[in-house]
Every structure is written in structure tokens, then in C-alpha cells.
């Protein structure tokens, strides 16, 4: 059956669409099209669709704008693609109320006083973030997992954990009902190119942040010109998105090549890195940041994948998290001043991302506490934190160090003088809880 749509006038009185709808519904009514059963079925299906469309067309007062909006509504499309600032405001993400106290490890005993050592994560005026340091095999991961398991007993909070060695999923996925994702074989269902609004400033800000996430993937920073071209390419891609196109990371790579051509530049290291990394579908925009971060995820980043890919995954995810979490209203505090919790992030092997000096991580550590965010960083040595532009360690509510090699400067800055991290026995650690303003030597776990 020829469908008389010639792309001239699709809507309106006497238009092709109206004629087409009339033709199908009428043809089906008097069965003139075919007697063949398959054809009949297809015809019936088309006719039903056409009848429904006709009804929607009528109920929209035969007005194209209302008709399209109605179809969008029925198909469950967002009213304005990529624009979650318009329409109904998104309600704030729920929080977990009440004081949360966590023993520092499975034993958590003060070696001098024999007291049980607990960290009040969300006490008045304190910081909920934790840094756990120690040499290879000193017990960082197990201690972090133990503390997060204990935390879960206080109630439900979504968790995002990056797992480098496959040793988190076993302890945490069931207890947090976390979905385990293995990129690049499995894509992370997070819309990392989300823009809050289609105005110029929102696009420029989002583009600059995404640019930082991509630019810091390589240890050698892009030049000013490369960085500017990348920001422009991302802005172009985001604009296309706010105009209704579905975009993904490969579009950014293509836009960068176009941007370079416009500027008379040939391909370089940046274009080839981006092309290489965007060959994989690392992310698919199935879930908005609000939806994604209201659930628990364990992202497996095995060490046989390239460091650049691991960094790109962490950077873009943390950027989306920072943007979403820091846009939330402040988490409420209870009568005792305990701040409710909204989201937990565990960065095991945190040096991988600390080295990239990612502004999103610095923001999360500096600003998310009032939003109910908790960041747990596990890393080998206080030295890992030293290179970071922002003073992460000053923002930690609890710092724990097992036996590890460390230059005296950073260790002294955290724990004070006279604490040798290389002299600690297995399972022992120095622990500094900010609100106590003193360093304790503890047995965190016993072999």
C-alpha cells in the first residue's frame, strides 16, 4: 500500500497525514485492502495505530505543537531533552537520618587505653570523609569494606565503589544491593553528558567540567590550544543535545576533529586518545545522574585495562556525581546535630585519580559533606595526597595509616611528629579522628 506522505504538508486540515489516517482507518473498515491473513494482520495493526493517532490528533485540537507534545508524553520522552531544570522540579534525593558510629576495623582497639575506637561519621561540624593508607596487603580494602558493611546496618544509602582488584564486589554487592558493571564489556548506564539547562552559561560550564575530566586522563596535560578546542567541541556536542539529538562520547571525538579542521590543525595525540577511548561504549545514557546515583554500583576496573580508560571512567563518573550531589539541598541535621547521609563513594586505589588532580574529586571532598556525601579514599601512602592541588587530607574526618613507606613531611602533617609509619606491626595503624585532635595507635585488625 502506498502511503501518501510526500513530506509537503504533514499536519492540518486536508493535509497528507489527515488523508493518510483517513485512508487507513477507512480501508480497514471495509476490508478492501487484502484478503491475505498476514496482510490483514498488518493492516489491522496499522489501522489501530492510525485510529489512536487520529484520536490524539483530534484531542490535541488539531494543533501540531500539542499533538507532538502529546506523542512525547505517551512515549514517555522527557518534555525537554537534556533539560531537567524545567518542568516539575526533581525532588531532593532521600537521606539516612541519625548518628552513624563506625569502629575503625574489625578489632578497633586503642593500644594504650584499650578503648574501642569509633568514628562518628556525621557528628556536628565534623567531616564524614575517610582516608585509609597502607602498603601493599596492609589491610586497607578489608578495613574499608568492614566499615561500609557496618554503615549499612544504620540504614540504606546508595554506594558507588570503584573496584580495581575484584575484591570489593564479594563483600559489598549483596549488602548494598549493588549492580556490578564491567566496562568496557558492559557499558555504565549513566548519562555523563547531562546538561542542566540549554542556556549558554550552563552549556559552557558543563563543557569545561567534562573537558577537565577528559583532559586529565593523560599524564601530560593538553596545551592551551588543545584544551580550548576540546572545550569548544564538547560545547558543540552539548548544544546538539539540547536541540534534541541523542549524543554519546564518540560524538565528542568527532566534534573535536571538526573543531581542529576549522582551526587548521591536523590530528594529534589528543584526537587519537579520544578516538581510541571512544571506540568502546564505556557509558550509555540510560539513566540520568539522579536516577543512577540513587542506586548502588560497583564498577570493576581491572588492571589489565589501560590506565587512561580507567581514569576516563572514574573522572566522568565522579564529575557527574559531583554535579548531581552538590546541586542537592543541604542534608538535614537532627536534634543532636548529626547530619543525614545521602551518598557514599569508595575509591580504592585512589592514587589513580588523585594523580589526575580532578576538580570534581576535590569538589566532592570539599563540598559534599553538607549534602550528605561521604568519600572513602584508600591509597598506599600519605605521599599520594601531597601532589594533589587541593588539601584532601585537611578535609578528612578520619585518617588511618597502616605500615607504609612515606616521606616524613606528609606523615607528620597528618599525625604529628614522632609517628613512624614504617614501624607499625601487621594490623596496627595510626588513627587520627579530626574531632578528637589527637593521634591514636590502634589495632585495627588481628592476623
Can you give the binding site for Mg ion, defined by CB under 5 A? 141
Which of the stretches 64-72, 135-143, 197-205, 286-294 binds ligand ATP when contact is defined by CB under 6 A?
A: 135-143
The side-by-side arrangement of strands in the sheet containing 398-401 is: 109-110, 438-443, 428-433, 398-401, 130-133, 373-379, 343-347, 159-163, 297-300, 179-181
Stretch of 140-148, 294-302, 324-332, 428-436 lying at the interface with ligand ATP (CB under 6 A)? 140-148
Q: In the bound complex, what is the minimum distance in angstroms from residue 97's beta carbon to ligand ATP? A: 30
Shortest CB 162 distance to Mg ion, Å? 12
Cα–Cα dist 407/382, whole Å: 8
d(CA 314, CA 89): 28
**Residue 383 makes contact with ligand ATP by CB under 6 A:** no
Q: Check residue 136 and report its DSSP letter.
A: T
440 touching ligand ATP, by CB under 6 A: no
Of 136-144, 178-186, 233-241, 303-311, which segment contacts ligand ATP by CB under 6 A? 136-144
Which residues does residue 323 pair with via DSSP β-bridges, in sequence order?
none
In the complex, what is the shortest distance from the CB of residue 167 to ligand ATP, in angstroms, rounded to a whole number? Answer: 6
| Number of residues forming the site for ligand ATP (CB under 6 A) | 12
All cell numbers assigned to 5: 506522505
251 contacts 258 by C-beta, under 8 angstroms: no
Pairing type for strands 159-163 and 297-300 reads parallel
Choosing from 109, 140, 323, 339, the residue that interacts with ligand ATP (CB under 6 A) is 140
Looking at beta carbons only, is 19 or 426 nearer to ligand ATP? 426
The distance of Cα 145 from the centroid of its chain, to the nearest Å, equals 20
Q: How far is the CB of 398 from Mg ion (least distance, A)?
A: 18
In angstroms, what is the minimal distance from the CB of 356 to ligand ATP?
A: 19
Instruction: Please tell me whether residue 137 binds ligand ATP under the rule CB under 6 A.
Output: yes
Pairing of strands 118-120, 101-103: antiparallel
Nearer to Mg ion, 141 or 399 (CB): 141
In 178-328, which residue ranges form alpha helices assigned H by DSSP?
Answer: 200-215, 224-242, 249-262, 269-277, 289-292, 307-326
Provide the angle, in degrees to the nearest 10, between the axes of the packed helices 37-59 and 64-74. 120
Cβ proximity to ligand ATP, 106 vs 308, nearer residue: 106
- Which of 15-24's residues contact partners 24+ apart within 8 Å by CB, and which partners? 17/57, 18/57, 20/50, 21/50, 21/53, 21/54, 21/57, 24/50
* Residue placing its CB nearer to ligand ATP in the complex, 106 or 179: 106
- With respect to ligand ATP, which residue has the nearer C-beta, 166 or 184? 166
Q: Which one of residues 57, 260, 419, 445 is an interface residue with ligand ATP (CB under 6 A)?
A: 445
Stretch that binds ligand ATP, among 11-19, 139-147, 334-342, 383-391 (CB under 6 A): 139-147
Q: Alpha-carbon distance 303 to 400, whole Å?
A: 25
Residue 171 or 285 having the CB closest to ligand ATP: 171
From candidates 2, 75, 136, 437, binder to ligand ATP by CB under 6 A: 136
Supply the DSSP string of 313-364, one letter for each residue: HHHHHHHHHHHHHHTSPPPPB-TT-PBPB-EEEEETTTHHHHTTT-HHHHHH
Span near ligand ATP by CB under 6 A; candidates 21-29, 61-69, 134-142, 210-218: 134-142
Q: Which spans of this chain sit near ligand ATP (rule: CB under 6 A)?
A: 106, 134, 136-142, 167, 445, 447
Amino acid at each position: 500500500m502506498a502511503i501518501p506522505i510526500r513530506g509537503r504538508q504533514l499536519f492540518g486540515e486536508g493535509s497528507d497525514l489527515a488523508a493518510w489516517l483517513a485512508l487507513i482507518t477507512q480501508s480497514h473498515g471495509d476490508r478492501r485492502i487484502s484478503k491475505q491473513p498476514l496482510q490483514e494482520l498488518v493492516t489491522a495493526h496499522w489501522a489501530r495505530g492510525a485510529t489512536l493517532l487520529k484520536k490524539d490528533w483530534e484531542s490535541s485540537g488539531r494543533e501540531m505543537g500539542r499533538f507532538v507534545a502529546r506523542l512525547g508524553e505517551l512515549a514517555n520522552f522527557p518534555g525537554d531533552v537534556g533539560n531537567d531544570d524545567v518542568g516539575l522540579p526533581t525532588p531532593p534525593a532521600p537521606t539516612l537520618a541519625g548518628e552513624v558510629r563506625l569502629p575503625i576495623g574489625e578489632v578497633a582497639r586503642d593500644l594504650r587505653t584499650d578503648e574501642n575506637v569509633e568514628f562518628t561519621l556525621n557528628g556536628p561540624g565534623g567531616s564524614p570523609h575517610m582516608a585509609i593508607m597502607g602498603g601493599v596487603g596492609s589491610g586497607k580494602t578489608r578495613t574499608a569494606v568492614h566499615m561500609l558493611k557496618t554503615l549499612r546496618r544504620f540504614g540504606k544509602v546508595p554506594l558507588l565503589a570503584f573496584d580495581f582488584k575484584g575484591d570489593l564486589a564479594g563483600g559489598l554487592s549483596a549488602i548494598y544491593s549493588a549492580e556490578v558493571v564491567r566496562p568496557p564489556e558492559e557499558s555504565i548506564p549513566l548519562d555523563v553528558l547531562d546538561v542542566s539547562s540549554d542556556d549558554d552559561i550552563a552549556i559552557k560550564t558543563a563543557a569545561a567540567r567534562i573537558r577537565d575530566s577528559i583532559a586529565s586522563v593523560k599524564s601530560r596535560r593538553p596545551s592551551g590550544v588543545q584544551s580550548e578546542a576540546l572545550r569548544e567541541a564538547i560545547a558543540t556536542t552539548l548544544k546538539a543535545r539540547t536541540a534534541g539529538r541523542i549524543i554519546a562520547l564518540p560524538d565528542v571525538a568527532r566534534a573535536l576533529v571538526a573543531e581542529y579542521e576549522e582551526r587548521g590543525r591536523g590530528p594529534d595525540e589528543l584526537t587519537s586518545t579520544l578516538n581510541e577511548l571512544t571506540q568502546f561504549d564505556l557509558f550509555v545514557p540510560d539513566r540520568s545522574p539522579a536516577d543512577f546515583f540513587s542506586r548502588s554500583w560497583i564498577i570493576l576496573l581491572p588492571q589489565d585495562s589501560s590506565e587512561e580508560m580507567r581514569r576516563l571512567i572514574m573522572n566522568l563518573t565522579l564529575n557527574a556525581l559531583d554535579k548531581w550531589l552538590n546541586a542537592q539541598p543541604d542534608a538535614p541535621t537532627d536534634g543532636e546535630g548529626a547530619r543525614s547521609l545521602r551518598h557514599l563513594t569508595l575509591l580504592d586505589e585512589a592514587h589513580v585519580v588523585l594523580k589526575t588532580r580532578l576538580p570534581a574529586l576535590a569538589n566532592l571532598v570539599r563540598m559534599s559533606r553538607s549534602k550528605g556525601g561521604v568519600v572513602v579514599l584508600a591509597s598506599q601512602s600519605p605521599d599520594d595526597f601531597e601532589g594533589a592541588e587541593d588539601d584532601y587530607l585537611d578535609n578528612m574526618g578520619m585518617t588511618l595509616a597502616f605500615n607504609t613507606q612515606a616521606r616524613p613531611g606528609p606523615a607528620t602533617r597528618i599525625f604529628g611528629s614522632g609517628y613512624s609509619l614504617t614501624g607499625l606491626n601487621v594490623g596496627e595503624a595510626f588513627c587520627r579522628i579530626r574531632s578528637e585532635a589527637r593521634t591514636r595507635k590502634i589495632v585495627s585488625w588481628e592476623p
